[in-house]
Amino acid sequence: MIKKIDHVAIVVEDIERALGVFREALGLQVSQTQSLPEQGVTIAFLPVGESEIELLEPLGPDSGVARFLATRGEGLHHICLEVEDIDAALAELKGKGLRLINETAVAGAHGRVAFIHPKSTHGVMVELLERPGSR
């Protein structure tokens, strides 16, 4: 079911300040920045080998990412796993009793995504991603 770790997402208060650290100190380059108003975030992707680091900055105080930042501070938000067929993966996980944040996939920055609740995965939120054309 799982193809690879697609990315690791980090919530930050200020994406430009965070990018300074990742670019200047770690030598990583930004491949994409994007605003996703429907999810309430601005994102930046920094490739690292076959995976990426995703920085998330909330657009306002009402998004899930903003609430996460207010309660937990900056840091790890989720791990994203690429799957070939997200609908089949969600059905299988639901059948195994995992609690899903998204019962069906929604549009994400790189394809269809859905989140598994951290209560089912030992405190770490897991995102599933089906990239276009992966089936």
Distances (CA, A) of 59 to 40, 49, 70, 88, 110: 5, 29, 13, 32, 19
**Beta strand spans in 49-124 (E):** 51-58, 75-83, 106-107, 112-116
pLDDT bucket at 130, cuts 50 / 70 / 90: very high
Please report the pLDDT score of residue 39 as a whole number.
87
Task: Collapse the DSSP code of 28 into the 3-class scheme (helix H, G, I; strand E, B; otherwise coil) and give the result.
Answer: coil
Please report the pLDDT score of residue 38 as a whole number.
86
Tens of pLDDT, residue by residue over 59-109, are 999 999 999 999 999 999 999 999 999 999 999 999 999 999 999 999 988
Please report the pLDDT score of residue 93 as a whole number.
97
Q: Map out the domains of the chain as residue ranges.
A: 2-130
- Is the pLDDT at 135 greater than 90, yes or no? no
Fold of the 2-130 domain: 2,3-Dihydroxybiphenyl 1,2-Dioxygenase; domain 1 (3.10.180)
Please report the pLDDT score of residue 113 as a whole number.
96
- Is the pLDDT at 121 greater than 90, yes or no? yes
Please report the pLDDT score of residue 100 as a whole number.
98
Distances (CA, A) of 80 to 21, 37, 110: 22, 20, 11
